[in-house]
Structure 1
């Protein structure tokens, strides 16, 4: 939005001077007239004062009318009062402008009032009451234009794109977890999300922290069996595909033969191990010995002769071909060589008394699951992805058997850093469906390109389009993406008035042009503390983010961080310093002179 975005008009300088002089004369005449009458009344003078203010002014100036001392005092007091009143109004105007960022001028051309009625508290509360939920919805941000808080309802799914260090965790992920009425699933590659919310969630229900890479150094007091997900050959195929997509480097090429063949082989062995109640590590052992046919025998024993034949065909294939297929399958489960990770998914022998995590029990509770991993060597990303899918599908199964085909209490799934730790390949295909089941998904990415690397260009577009609520929080420099957001925000009309003079006198003309509300440069440099919210059925709106530090649970969150984060002092200092900086920019105004 350029600096010429508002309508401009041209006025004759001589006419302007004339209007100013005329205003001063009329104002002086009125002030003198009132002061004279008040002064005469105060001093008890019975002098006749003409009715015409201009006549009064002239006679006072010429001395034809006596000017009482009380009139001077009243006039001075009136001028002082006007100066004080003007100063107060000016301070209030500048203060109001100071709370705006350099892009806030765009808010008047974007969604406000009825344009964003579907995101307002009243609409969200109506939906929540219909679904039997006390909270109105997941808070998004506050409208810059009206100050009202915007909500995603319990039927919405969201996609957020926020660049690094823009406040996506503090302003979106943490508030969503704190607002959730039922079970919560959260993924991340850092400890901040778990540290900030686990104590508050512990007051609601049990807390499970899945930490196979020691990100928060959580002791493995419980375990989850990935093969409990494999109830038939279809689930085995899904799990194998999850391991394949989660272990594959973003953007890497796939082989048309070995990749699907390796996935099929892995699916057969996962099924064999699940049917015989073996630990998942048995699958890796089978894959290290291409001549071992125990899996074939198990598949035949449990009534899967066709899958057994497929596995046996690979074992009997030429050596180079077999090595390629086995090597591909083994790479899919290479995370099983990480002993720390395996401890979370394999029992410590028959006497292991640790709790076993059950996705079906979890979705019926108000529990919280933090699933943590990071990319790189030894990544447990495939396990995090598999656990995420197992929980979401368990929620879907419960919803199918519940009244209205929805969960009795909505489940919130915050997939923070989804492109790094939760590469769920089929997510775009089922995204909108989950909203109708009461599974409120929130996928948070650092850029559009991250999503393209995981789901491909068309897959990312499908995910973006399937989301009822889309939030851009700044910090992205991808011109193509920003251009699309700019187009979605739209244009507004700029009216220009120009005056020209000629022999025939003065003529005035008007012209109208279209101008972008927020151009690529505005979006690329979106100030911290601002977000663009796009929602189905609503006009795009500019919003002020609401970090947890400014929310109702600030003290409890700070206490949770203090209890669990080894660097709590620095973490809290940085959080509140960031909030202070945003408030200071708003208080002093970032380029406030640009705000109309």
Structure 2
């Protein structure tokens, strides 16, 4: 994580209310000015405050043309606000409120350990994956996600422990499990209480090696754990009998 001093983006500093009040005053003042100067032929001062004083004292008259002009001004302001909101919505696309926290996330040396370059270094020096690293088109490491500030893909090395805490229906399978299955350089053992992860990986990786059905893998995997000798045929190394 970054050690630099940052401010919580969720904390309000009172700037937004001040901007809203200033905008409201500007709209009201501009409407009054436009209503008198464009809606009537009276000789009126240019200061909106002086115009209001003149209306109160009876020196100026608010005519029907003034009301029409104010209505047009308000309609134009509302249309501008709606168009701006739509434009902002389209620019943001499918971003969520958590994306606003990107500016306080780690950068540079903070995320060096989970970059693809670092994953390749670990795979070469610590895991001896020299043959796998010859193909530069294949990704090395377990995909984590894109860094919001730079757009670079972040990955954890194969010797790292990944512990994710996600809520229900937040994209665990589609964002973490399935991409890890599809980008793996070797054999994959995946478990789930539903067969979805295995089914989604059958098509793309089915032609690269032997693929077991979820039910079959569960039964044979359980057998390998209960009977360590049978693990040799599956290429599984078991530490001992299941307790």
* Normalised-by-shorter TM-score class: 0.5 to 0.7
Superposed, 1:42-191 pairs within 5 Å as 45=41, 47-67=42-62, 69-86=64-81, 100=96, 104=98, 107=101, 111-112=105-106, 114=108, 118=112, 124=116, 132-137=135-140, 138-142=142-146, 148=151, 150-152=153-155, 157-162=159-164, 170-180=174-184, 182=185, 184-188=186-190
Q: Following the alignment from structure 2 to structure 1, what is the Cα–Cα distance between the partners of residues 59 and 29?
A: 15
**TM-score, normalised by the number of residues in structure 1:** 0.27
Q: Could you list the per-position Cα deviations for residues 434-487 of structure 1 after superposition, in whole angstroms to 9, with x for gaps in the alignment?
A: xxxxxxxxxxxxxxxxxxx99xxxxxxxxxxxxxxxxxxxxxxxxxxxxxxxxx
Q: Could you list the per-position Cα deviations for residues 371-419 of structure 1 after superposition, in whole angstroms to 9, with x for gaps in the alignment?
A: 950269x835654478547xxxxxxxxxxxxxxxxxxxxxxxxxxxxxx
What corresponds to 2:200 in structure 1? 196
Root-mean-square deviation (CA, aligned residues, Å) is 5.4
**TM-score, normalised by the number of residues in structure 2:** 0.54
3-state DSSP of counterpart to 2:161: strand
Deviation at 1:81, TM superposition (A): 3.5
Cα gap change, 1:79 to 1:165, in 2 (>3 Å): closer
Superposed, 1:304-383 pairs within 5 Å as 373-374=221-222, 379=226, 383=230
Deviation at 1:25, TM superposition (A): 6.2
Q: Following the alignment from structure 1 to structure 2, what is the Cα–Cα distance between the partners of residues 61 and 73?
A: 20
Cα gap change, 1:186 to 1:76, in 2 (>3 Å): same
Q: Following the alignment from structure 1 to structure 2, what is the Cα–Cα distance between the partners of residues 37 and 372?
A: 87
Deviation at 1:67, TM superposition (A): 4.2
Q: Is the 8 A contact 1:112 1:146 kept in 2?
A: no
3-state DSSP of counterpart to 1:159: coil
Cα gap change, 1:24 to 1:100, in 2 (>3 Å): closer
Q: Which has the larger radius of gyration?
A: 1
Q: Could you list the per-position Cα deviations for residues 224-272 of structure 1 after superposition, in whole angstroms to 9, with x for gaps in the alignment?
A: xxxxxxxxxxxxxxxxxxxxxxxxxxxxxxxxxxxxxxxxxxxxxxxxx
Q: Following the alignment from structure 1 to structure 2, what is the Cα–Cα distance between the partners of residues 75 and 8?
A: 33
What corresponds to 1:401 in structure 2? none
Cα gap change, 1:118 to 1:424, in 2 (>3 Å): farther
What corresponds to 1:510 in structure 2? none
Q: Following the alignment from structure 1 to structure 2, what is the Cα–Cα distance between the partners of residues 175 and 65?
A: 72
Q: Following the alignment from structure 2 to structure 1, what is the Cα–Cα distance between the partners of residues 60 and 178?
A: 75
Cα gap change, 1:63 to 1:141, in 2 (>3 Å): same
How many residues are treated as equivalent by the alignment?
209
Q: Following the alignment from structure 2 to structure 1, what is the Cα–Cα distance between the partners of residues 206 and 119?
A: 27
3-state DSSP of counterpart to 1:185: coil
Structure richer in strand, relative to its length: 1
3-state DSSP of counterpart to 1:72: helix
Deviation at 1:208, TM superposition (A): 1.6
3-state DSSP of counterpart to 1:152: strand
Q: Following the alignment from structure 1 to structure 2, what is the Cα–Cα distance between the partners of residues 126 and 161?
A: 19
Flag the structure with more relative contact order, 1 or 2, with Cα contacts below 8 A and sequence separation at least 6.
Answer: 1
Q: Is the 8 A contact 1:373 1:381 kept in 2?
A: no
3-state DSSP of counterpart to 1:151: strand
What corresponds to 2:28 in structure 1? 28
Q: Following the alignment from structure 2 to structure 1, what is the Cα–Cα distance between the partners of residues 223 and 167?
A: 19
Cα gap change, 1:163 to 1:39, in 2 (>3 Å): closer
Q: Is the 8 A contact 1:32 1:75 kept in 2?
A: yes
Deviation at 1:108, TM superposition (A): 5.6
Q: Following the alignment from structure 1 to structure 2, what is the Cα–Cα distance between the partners of residues 108 and 70?
A: 51
Q: Is the 8 A contact 1:36 1:71 kept in 2?
A: yes
Deviation at 1:152, TM superposition (A): 1.1
Deviation at 1:201, TM superposition (A): 1.6
Residues 1:37 and 2:37 aligned together? yes
Q: Following the alignment from structure 2 to structure 1, what is the Cα–Cα distance between the partners of residues 159 and 166?
A: 22
3-state DSSP of counterpart to 1:201: helix
Cα gap change, 1:157 to 1:50, in 2 (>3 Å): same
Cα gap change, 1:202 to 1:189, in 2 (>3 Å): closer
Deviation at 1:188, TM superposition (A): 4.0
3-state DSSP of counterpart to 2:226: coil
Q: Is the 8 A contact 2:202 2:211 kept in 1?
A: no
Deviation at 1:195, TM superposition (A): 3.5
Deviation at 1:72, TM superposition (A): 2.0
